Homo-oligomer: A and B are copies of this chain.
Amino acid sequence: MTADVVILTIREGRLAVLLVQRGEEPFRGRWALPGGFVGPSEDLEEAAWRVLARETGLRPKVAHLEQLRTYGAPGRDPRTRVVSVAHLGLVADLPAPVGGRGTTSARFWAVEDLEAEVAPWLAFDHEAILADGVERARAKLEYTPLATTFVPPTFTLSELRHVYEAVWGTPVHAANFRRKVLSIEGFVLPVGRTASPGPEGARQPDLYQAGPARLLHPALLRPRPEQARVMGEPETGEL
């Protein structure tokens, strides 16, 4: 029984996942999600925190971690039966990680690049686990304040909006985003307009910090892939 972790962050404006390069068989040389065995008297989430801390040095309150799903198909590890309890971790941008024992290197990969053809094959069934983790993150941004775990303790609404755009992979209307976020009680709290991080000749934005809300009312829904049919327009092909 192992605990694997999908550690997501925003790097250079893009959603990125932490992968380690395996130094041992099976799948030697291939990229994989960081993970480790669960101790005999260790809680599942405890094991996941241990893996996350080993790779990033982060601890609770600085990061978010939740159980994702358990993967136990008989053939997923070619040598013996291994059931993996996958977790999802969300962290702010941070220095390059070091990797743990049995790995030769560790780095963040843009999720977008992994979906491309040139992407490295991931070990085991980690491709499916990653996909599930990304989808969970996308869904959770809608109805929880988890986007704030991706930004510094103090942030602008533009930075927060960039998080949504990076995770969802779609542009977000700035003016309406602002109104919605501010109308959600307890999502963000104003802290004045102290700093001016933008050296590009523009207005200084207001600064905010995360509020006490654990759930977003009303939700901040992502733009759905519009499948509305315009009357009079004939269907253009696919079912």
Chain A positions within 8 Å of B, measured between CB atoms, are: 1, 38, 40-44, 67, 69-70, 72-74, 81, 83, 85, 217, 224, 227
A99 vs chain B, min Cβ distance (A): 26
A38 touching B217 in the complex, CB below 8 Å, given contacts A1-B83, A44-B83, A83-B44: no
Copies of this chain per assembly = 2
24 contacts between A and B (CB under 8 A): A1-B1, A1-B72, A1-B83, A38-B72, A40-B81, A41-B74, A41-B81, A42-B74, A43-B72, A43-B73, A43-B74, A44-B70, A44-B72, A44-B73, A44-B83, A67-B69, A67-B70, A70-B70, A70-B85, A72-B85, A83-B83, A83-B85, A217-B224, A217-B227
Chain B residues closer than 8 Å to A83, beta-carbon distance: 1, 44, 83, 85
What's the Cα separation between A127 and B38 when bound, in Å? 24
Q: Which residues of B contact A74 (CB under 8 A)?
A: 41-43
Other than A43-B73, A44-B73, A70-B70, give 13 A-B pairs with Cβ distance below 8 A.
A1-B1, A1-B72, A40-B81, A41-B74, A41-B81, A42-B74, A43-B74, A44-B72, A44-B83, A67-B69, A70-B85, A72-B85, A83-B85
Closest to A75 in B: B41
User: Shortest Cβ distance from A137 into chain B, in angstroms?
Assistant: 17
A41 smallest CB distance to B (angstroms): 5
Complex-state Cα separation, A42 to B74, whole angstroms: 6
- Which B residues are CB-close (under 8 A) to A42? 74
